[in-house]
Amino acid sequence: MSEIKIKPKETIRKLDKNIVGVEKIKNNLITTKERINEITMDDDNNSGEEYAGRKIQNSISYTSRKGLEKTNELGKKSIKETQNNFIKEKKKINTFKTRIKEKRIINNLKKNTELTKKSIKTAENVAKTGKKVAKESIKASQKAVKLTKHIAKITAQGIKATIKATITAVKAIIAATKAIISAIIAGGWIAVVIIVVIVLIAGFVAAIFNNDGDDNYDSSQIPNSEIVLIAKSQIGNEGGDKFWSWYGFDSRVEWCACFVSWCASECGYIEKGIIPKFSVCSDGINWFKEKNEWHDRGESYYPIIGDIIFFDWNDNQDGISDHVGIVTRTDITNRTIYTIEGNTDDKCAERVYSFDDGQIMGYGSPKYE
C-alpha cells in the first residue's frame, strides 16, 4: 500500500487568512477613530456640539475597543480551535499511519509464518521420503544377503555332494579293479580290461588333482581329496575375513590356521575329530603329536594329499611354527610338494616347495575315512 501524503500547508493558509481578516477589521476601526478625531477636535469650539461630538467619539472609541477586543477574542479562539483541529487531524493521521504500518508488519509476519510452515512441511516430507528410501534399501540389502547365503549354501552342498559322489565312484572303480585282478588267471582278455580300467583311473586322477599331468599318485590318497577341493574353491580370497570371523575373532589375525580349520569344518572333519580346530600353528602340531599322527621333515616320509604342512620361516628359525597349509599333491620324481595356503601375501594361493626345504617343520597326517 502506498504512503499517504499529508498537506498541512492548507490548514496553515486558512489560519493565516483569519489572522489577516482580524488585522483588517482592527485597522479599519483605528482609521475610523482617527477621522472622527479630526472632525470633532477643535480647541476653539467649546459648544454643545463639542460635547456631543466628544460623546459620540467616546461611544465610538468604546464600541471600537469592545469590537476590537471581541474580534481579538474571536480571532484567538478561532486560531486556537484551528490549531487544536490541526493537532487532532495530525494525530489521527499519525494514528492511521501507525495502523497501516502495523497492518503491513502483521501481513509480513503472516506471510513469513506461512513460508516457514511450508518449509517445515517440505523438510518433513523430505525426511519421511529419506527414511522410506533407507528402509527399502535396508530391506533390499537384507534380501540380497539372504539370497547370497542361500545360494552359497546350495553351492557348498552341491560341491560336497559332488565330492562325495566322485570319491564313491573312485572307490567303486578301485574295488572293481581289485576284483578284476583276482580274476586275472581266468584268461588273457581280462588283462586287457585291467589295463583299460587302470588307464581310466589314472586319467581321472590326473584330471582332478594334477594340472601338470603328473600321475604319481597312490590310490590310497584319493579319499583325502575332499579338503583339497574345498581349499581350491577359496583360491584368490583376500583378507581372510571369512575365515577369522568364522573362527570367532572380532578383528583380523594371522589367519592361515583359521583357513585350514575352516576347510576341515566344511568337510565335517573337526566334528568327527579327524582335524583339530586351531588358530595357533603350534597348537595344531601338539594335537597331531598327541594322536601319533605327526611326521618330522627328513624321516623319509613323503606327504600325501590332505596332509597338513607346517613351516618355520628362515627369518625367524626359533623352532616354533609360523605358518600352515594343506598338501594338494606330491611329485616324488622331482621331489616337490604342492600346497594351498591361507594368509600367504594376505590371500589364499597355491605354493610349491622342495622336499628338502629347511623351512618345512613337518606334517600332520590325519586319519581320513
End-to-end Cα, the chain, rounded Å: 100
Residue type for position 40? T
What does DSSP assign to residue 61? H
Contact 281, 319 (CB under 8 A): no
Residue type for position 47? S
Is 294's pLDDT higher than 80? yes
CA–CA gap between residue 218 and residue 202 (Å, rounded): 10
- Residue with the larger pLDDT of the pair 284 and 89: 284
Predicted model pTM:
0.45
* Best mean pLDDT range from 56-65, 158-167, 196-205, 348-357: 348-357
- Residue with the larger pLDDT of the pair 147 and 300: 300
Cell of 346: 594376505
Is 195's pLDDT higher than 70? no
Nearest to 219 by CA among 271, 171, 149: 171
Locus of grid cell 584268461: 187
Give the residue-averaged pLDDT of 37-50.
55
